[in-house]
Amino acid sequence: MKLRVKNYQLYALAIGLTIGLSSCQESAPKDNTPWTPLFNGENLNGWTQKGGEAKYRVEDGKVIGSTVHNTPNSFMTTNKMYDDFILELDYKVDSTMNSGIQIRSNSTPQYQNGRVHGYQIEIDPSDRAWSAGIYDEGRRGWLFPIENDKNAQQAFKQGDWNHYRIEAIGDTIKTWINGVPAAHLIDGKTHSGFIALQVHSIGKDAKEGTEIMWKNVNILTDSLSKYSTKTPVEPVVTKNNLTIDEKKNGWEMLWDGKTSNGWRGAKLEEFPDKGWVIENGILTIMESDGKESAAAGDIVTKKLYQDFELKVDFKLTKGANSGIKYYVDTEINKGPGSSIGLEYQILDDDNHPDAKLGNHDGSRTVASLYDLIQADPNKPIHPVGEWNTARIVSKDNHVEHWLNGVKVLEYERGSKEYRKLVSESKYKKWKKFGELEKGSILLQDHGNRVSYKNIKIKSL
């Protein structure tokens, strides 16, 4: 009889637990988000592999990626491009692997022979535990590592399924891992691109065939403000700030994004009192008459630079003309016109007549060494109204011009070939033009509206 009572009590306890679980399930909030599947659960239609040759297959409603030797990072990419979205997915990863989810990423022939580059939401099962941090694949490195957030680090489940939520809306990217807030980045580098599932390359001693699996890959692209989630994580803001890797590698801000500190008028002791506007972290030369240095005038750094690497984001308006000059001596040419120096041309090639002029064909087009050397005609240029990145590297008289991550020309200051070009140009009246040991950096007023931000320099 006592046994029967105990059995009955156990039975009642089991019934109670079942009822309790059912009640919890009924009270759990239902997800009414109108998700669209990115993966149909049956095949990889709508996806294309880029980069390396890791193996991808579909099995039991999952995408499974496995490592192979002697190949770079591999990416299974969506054929469709996405700008603003909310993405959710589940993944399970081998403990020895590294992987990630690419968002707003691109692959173009001009950029490192098609290398996939863009934001990556990290998958990191190692002891470092930076899963759901934000890395810039093929470009700037770490933007938001999860190095000091124990809650996010401990949210990762080793050997089990993990859930990511990724919001990319405007210039803001937010991530969650298994419901725990992780990264919060404000960065305006790239606004559109594909989504991709990464299988990282492996070393020669690593085991081939280790796997990562993805399932329940769903996206939302409409009514994002209605479904967006707030995060308590303090944002990392990259606009007019150095990234983590830039700080480690000796970069400094050439413009602080707020004041005119460190700059002056090229023909003034102080910064111009009109014409140049600083607003919302953007430095803009306002439109005047379309003439060279006839209104507000050029601005230059107070500090002089010898060997350096310079990066500047610029945005054109229709038909605009400006320039970034280097090795500038403001004591030369005190009269009308711009200060003298080598110039990285800033121009709307499609709508400004200068694009068809110059001492050499095309030598006044955007990213060219003005009036001397034409930039590669196949250069990657973003449309008027969008931001582009200029980069100038000068070391031991070897100079390179880059545009949006692609080298578009190079030359040797003071070489026989260089001096021949100068002798055939309007610069021939200036003795040893462009061969100063050091000089100022200049942003040009050419009477057209052009904006600048993220002005950074590294002395070499």
Burial 97-126 (b: 16+ CB within 10 A, else e): bbbbbbbbbbbeebbeeebbbbbbbbbbbe
Does domain 244-459 sit in CATH 2.60.120.560? yes
Q: Which CATH superfamily is domain 36-237 in?
A: Exo-inulinase; domain 1 (2.60.120.560)
DSSP assignment of 304-334 equals -BSSEEEEEEEEE-TT-EEEEEEEE-TTS--
Size of the chain in residues: 460
419 or 333, higher pLDDT = 419
C-alpha–C-alpha distance, residues 102 and 164, integer Å = 13
Mean model confidence pLDDT for the chain: 91
How is residue 289 written in tokens? 């008459």
C-alpha–C-alpha distance, residues 284 and 422, integer Å = 31
Given pLDDT bands bounded at 50, 70 and 90, which one contains residue 337?
A: confident
Percent of the chain with pLDDT over 70: 91
Contact 442, 305 (CB under 8 A): no
Cα R_g (the chain), whole angstroms: 28
C-alpha–C-alpha distance, residues 243 and 406, integer Å = 20
Residue 117 scores a pLDDT above 80:
yes
Q: Where in the chain is the domain with CATH 2.60.120.560?
A: 36-237, 244-459
Is the C-alpha dihedral spanning 236, 240, 241, 246 positive or negative? positive
| 348 CB burial (10 A radius; 0-12, 13-18, 19+) | buried
Given pLDDT bands bounded at 50, 70 and 90, which one contains residue 161?
A: very high
Percent of the chain with pLDDT over 90: 82
Q: Are strands 194-199 and 99-106 parallel, antiparallel or unpaired?
A: antiparallel
C-alpha–C-alpha distance, residues 164 and 171, integer Å = 19
What pTM, to 2 d.p., does this model score?
A: 0.87
DSSP assignment of 129-148 equals --TT-EEEETTTEEEE--SS
Three-state SS at 206: coil
Contact 344, 389 (CB under 8 A): no
Which range, of 24-38, 59-73, 87-101, 363-377, averages the lowest pLDDT? 24-38
The model's pLDDT over 256-293, given as tens digits with 9 standing for 90+, comes to 999 999 999 999 999 999 999 999 999 999 988 766 66
Mean pLDDT of 33-42: 94
Three-state SS at 177: strand
